[in-house]
Amino acid sequence: MTESLLVVGSVAFDSIETRAGKRDEILGGAATFISLAASQLCKVRLVAVVGERDFPDEHVRLLASRGVDLAGLERVPGRTFRWAGAYADDFSSRRTLDTQLGVFASFSPKIPAGYATSKYVMLGNINPDLQLAVLDAVRGDHFVATDTMNLWINTAREALDAVMRRTDLLTINDEEAFLLTGERQIARAAAEVRRMGPKAVIIKRGEHGAFLFHERGVFFAPAFPLDDVVDPTGAGDSFAGGLMGHLASENRTDFGALKRGMLCGAAIASATCEAFGVERTAQLTRAGIDERVATLTALTSLDN
Amino acid sequence: MTESLLVVGSVAFDSIETRAGKRDEILGGAATFISLAASQLCKVRLVAVVGERDFPDEHVRLLASRGVDLAGLERVPGRTFRWAGAYADDFSSRRTLDTQLGVFASFSPKIPAGYATSKYVMLGNINPDLQLAVLDAVRGDHFVATDTMNLWINTAREALDAVMRRTDLLTINDEEAFLLTGERQIARAAAEVRRMGPKAVIIKRGEHGAFLFHERGVFFAPAFPLDDVVDPTGAGDSFAGGLMGHLASENRTDFGALKRGMLCGAAIASATCEAFGVERTAQLTRAGIDERVATLTALTSLDN
């Protein structure tokens, strides 16, 4: 039975430069990618904030057309969060050129009554105080996945630790895992994170795939090998969205479900990288996801 | 039926600094790691050169104790090849501190009569003119794997192209693949390499695993996740040695055999990284290899 996924995070305008080109103020933000990625797999409930006047109806229509419940998309006076960045030609690094928090600076997530019993919760990368506020508003049995970043690890550690104690699955990249734990090898870092609360830890390595560390064992999901990367923005969030969408759609959170969820996430993340912004992510069909999952499965299959 | 593997390459003294410590003039060299890695899987025939007086008997005994046929290990007046290097703390790069070619500068591989009908040939990273000389000396049906490096891609391209036309399997790292082809994505680089001759291409990405591109499809072998890396010197050669050792031991070169061979290679490469030089590589038993292969298989298994 398919369950609903509550998604909290940023909805933003991204201005992006890569070797493939340049885009100005296109739809982005962690919650956008997570929601669109999960939308072909389960029902998605979005909690985010945008500017009252500068957020185009076409973006609202796009999200709604993918079945995303927008009752939690708050519109307040001010400007929508804007981010600008430029990627190195080999995509190994990116520079932030500009950040304008706008209405996101005073974001205080409001959980609509209908969302409070969501069985799956994805806390996108926002201030851990806000992540805690969301957890306080959710009732009943639920499975929580959390993302975070260097900024919060460095500046809001106490709140982040509190979030982690209430987190079932932490999804972070390798550098964040090293910063969080002081370890330098991912297996050690994952073991240390698991002592902080989360029963399961996924350490993302971008184009090098992702590791799941779980009481049942370790699993590695390869990244889909792409002929061309156009824009990796949102790939990590697409991965998390696809993963959580799979868990919610199956209403299972065991080791096997997490593994298959990671392949769904890797499949959608690869599509995200093939075009700027959400262009490809928002076009993916269930069949398209399944096809990429099959390719990923074959990639590590020992069958001749 | 187990076949023999002919290995050509360097036997050297390595001086190595890593965050784990420092070693002076320990046994190293591509052919050493390839031979020791393959030695638990098949019969190995080594072709290399060392100094007449400075190469200790204990190294000869070590290789012989692993069953490596040393009829092709030439001893000539002069000093054994020496290399010194230091690794960055995160092992993402290394600096060469010193290179003294010694007797390796005038190395001209001599293939003992008994070696000429070897069915498996591993051309370690040496001057492609020497690789060609080896191929000219081998008779009958044989499967050739070739390694190379930036130096030869930049300075000996014509000879390298001739080697590639006679190579069945090219094993190179991602930077070498990009340099060789001018491509920036591994799938495109692999397709281009396959147009140069090799039916199969393995692109190694160190701790991020290795991709096999083959007419039957693409396979990804993850790297064994290590708690601690001590010294990655020789890991790529150990990988190639384990792979070729597996092929020779099964006398099969099909897609499935290449896949399982890559897991053997990854298993042995991981052991190589756990200690300085050949210390761990030379201790591995067949059971130890099988155990690591089982762990690697589980790492990407979708079973719950």
pLDDT score recorded for residue B286: 95
pLDDT of residue B65: 97
Residues of A within 8 A of B304 (CB-CB) are 216, 254-256, 259
Q: What is the DSSP string of chain A?
A: ---EEEEES--EEEEEEETTEEEEEEEE-HHHHHHHHHTTTSEEEEEEEEETTTS-HHHHHHHHHTTEEEEEEEEESSPPEEEEEEE-TTSS-EEEEEEE-GGGGG------GGGTT-SEEEE-SS-HHHHHHHHHH--SS-EEEE---HHHHHH-HHHHHHHHHT-SEEEEEHHHHHHHHS-SSHHHHHHHHHHTS-SEEEEE-GGG-EEEEETTEEEEEPPP--S--S--TTHHHHHHHHHHHHHHHHT--SHHHHHHHHHHHHHHHHHHHTSSTTTTGGG--HHHHHHHHHHHHHHT----
Residue of chain A whose alpha carbon sits nearest to that of B298: A219
Does A242 have pLDDT greater than 80? yes
Give the span between the Cα atoms of B267 and B297, in whole angstroms. 10
CB < 8 Å to A214, chain B:
none
Round the average pLDDT of chain B to a whole number and report it: 96
Q: What is the pLDDT of residue A304?
A: 67
Most A CBs within 10 A among B188, B192, B211, B220, hence the mutation to make, goes to B220
Model confidence at A150: pLDDT above 80:
yes
Residue B179 has what pLDDT? 97
- pLDDT (tens digit, 9 = 90+) per residue, B145-177? 999 999 999 999 999 999 999 999 999 999 999
Alpha-carbon distance A234 to nearest alpha carbon in chain B (angstroms): 20
Query: CB contact, 8 Å: B228 with chain A?
Result: yes
pLDDT of residue B289: 97
* A300–B222 C-beta distance less than 8 A: yes
Give the pLDDT confidence of A36-52 residue by residue, as tens digits: 999 999 999 999 999 99
Instruction: Tell me the nearest-neighbour CA distance from B184 into chain A, angstroms.
Output: 7
pLDDT band of A227, cuts 50, 70, 90: confident
Q: What percent of chain A has pLDDT over 70?
A: 100
Q: What are the tens digits of pLDDT across the range B277-296?
A: 999 999 999 999 999 999 99
Of B226, B260, B304, the CB nearest to A302: B260
A86 touches chain B (CB under 8 A): no
Q: How much is the pLDDT for A243? A: 98
Residue spans per domain, chain B = 4-299
* B304/A220 touch (CB, cutoff 8 Å), yes or no: no
| Contacting residues of A for B303, CB less than 8 Å apart | 256
Q: Which residue of B has its CA nearest to A259?
A: B302
**Are B222 and A222 a contacting pair at CB < 8 A?**
yes
Kindly report the nearest CA distance between residue B255 and chain A, in angstroms: 6
* pLDDT per residue as tens digits for the range B70-100: 999 999 999 999 999 999 998 989 999 999 9
Question: Is residue A233 predicted with pLDDT exceeding 90?
Answer: yes
Does residue A227 sit at the B interface (CB-CB below 8 Å)?
Answer: yes
Compute the nearest-CA separation of A1 from chain B (Å): 20
Q: What is the mean pLDDT of residues B213-233?
A: 93
Q: What is the pLDDT of residues A69-81, one digit of tens each?
A: 999 999 999 999 9
Each residue's pLDDT tens digit, A57-71: 999 999 999 999 999
With 70 as the cut, is the pLDDT of residue B114 above it?
yes
Strand order through the sheet with A12-18: A21-28, A12-18, A81-87, A94-100
Task: Inspect the interface and report whether the beta carbons of A220 and B300 lie closer than 8 Å.
Answer: yes
pLDDT tens for residues B116-144? 999 999 999 999 999 999 999 999 999 99
Q: What pLDDT is stored for residue B18 in this prediction? A: 97
B256 touches A: beta carbon within 8 Å: yes
Q: Which of B188, B205, B259 sits opposite A227 (nearest CB)?
A: B188
Distances (CA, A) of B255 to A91, B38, B143, B147: 31, 19, 14, 19
The average confidence (pLDDT) of chain A is 96
CA atoms within 13 A on the CB side of A230: 16
Contact B298 A254 (CB under 8 A): no
Interface of A with B in 279-298 (CB under 8 A): 297-298
Q: Is the pLDDT of residue A303 over 90?
A: no
Its pTM surpasses 0.80: yes
Q: Check if B227 contacts A (Cβ < 8 Å).
A: yes
Contact: A222, B300; criterion CB under 8 Å: yes
Say whether B219 and A299 touch across the interface (CB within 8 A): yes
Nearest CA in chain A to B188: A227
Q: Which residues of B touch A299 (CB under 8 A)?
A: 218-220
- Mean pLDDT within A213-232: 93
Q: Per-residue pLDDT for B304 more than 80?
A: no
Which pLDDT value is given to residue A225? 82
Assigned CATH topology for domain A4-299: UDP-N-acetylmuramoyl-L-alanine:D-glutamate ligase (3.40.1190)
